[in-house]
Amino acid sequence: MAKPLMAKATAVWLVDNTTLSFKQIADFCGLHELEVQGIADGDVAAGVKGFDPIANNQLTQEEIEKSEADPLHKLKLKFNPAAAGEEKRRGPRYTPLSKRQDRPNSILWLVKFHPELADAQIAKLVGTTKPTIQSIRERTHWNIASMQPIDPVALGLCKQSELDAAVQKAAAKKAKEGEAMDDDERRKLLSTEQSLGAEAEPRIPTAIEGLETFSLGGDDEDEKEDEKIDADSFFNLPDSPDDEDDDE
């Protein structure tokens, strides 16, 4: 359900100027019922100026009166054709000042680990420009020697779901173009959920693995048994000639 602009300030106005129930106001403004009660008691939103939803074309007086007469009726936000599609973000992503110095590192990470992403996709993910991405791809960026690849999700520049969606879109485009992909590229095009759920790859056997049971010919087994040396034979040595002379 769509929520009004300045929801808390709207709730303040509705509490002060209507007889609507706390639940009706909470449902309309997307707040908790106890939070609305706190507004009425003066414990919440102290000093917040009320925002008139009627004057700002979000509610009609008839809708408010209908809800006041019926406590079970839910307020409906007035449809505003001019606001249609406003929830969709337009233009480049805004990056806070505190994180802008990390943006080149995140671009380097995307270029290194997801080269299949187009410049437009990277620009949308981290809020940068195509010339900056191109300079990092070509390693002509003025600070390229000091840059370290850092995951943009870890930096808070984008969400994991947004990165996965961009990677999947790049994978679909590459598959549609019919380009051959090796195992490394296929692994990079997997989302986080798919990577974690994938089966473990078969382990490559080592050079000496299995040699402990290897034998040189099947008929040699009997010969090996014949060649076994009895330990007692070392102690049953033949008598020397000197020993015979002593016996005489």
Phi, then psi, of 124 in degrees rounded to 5: -75, -35
Per-residue confidence (pLDDT) for residue 192, from 0 to 100: 52
Dist CA 62 CA 27 (whole Å): 18
Per-residue confidence (pLDDT) for residue 196, from 0 to 100: 52
For the stretch 232-243, pLDDT in tens is 555 555 555 555
pLDDT at 179 over 60: no
Contacts of 105 (CB under 8 A, 6+ apart): 147, 148, 149, 150, 155
pLDDT at 73 over 50: yes
Mean pLDDT of 137-156: 90
Percent of the chain predicted with pLDDT > 90? 21
Task: Among 9-13, 87-91, 120-124, name the one with the lowest average pLDDT.
Answer: 87-91
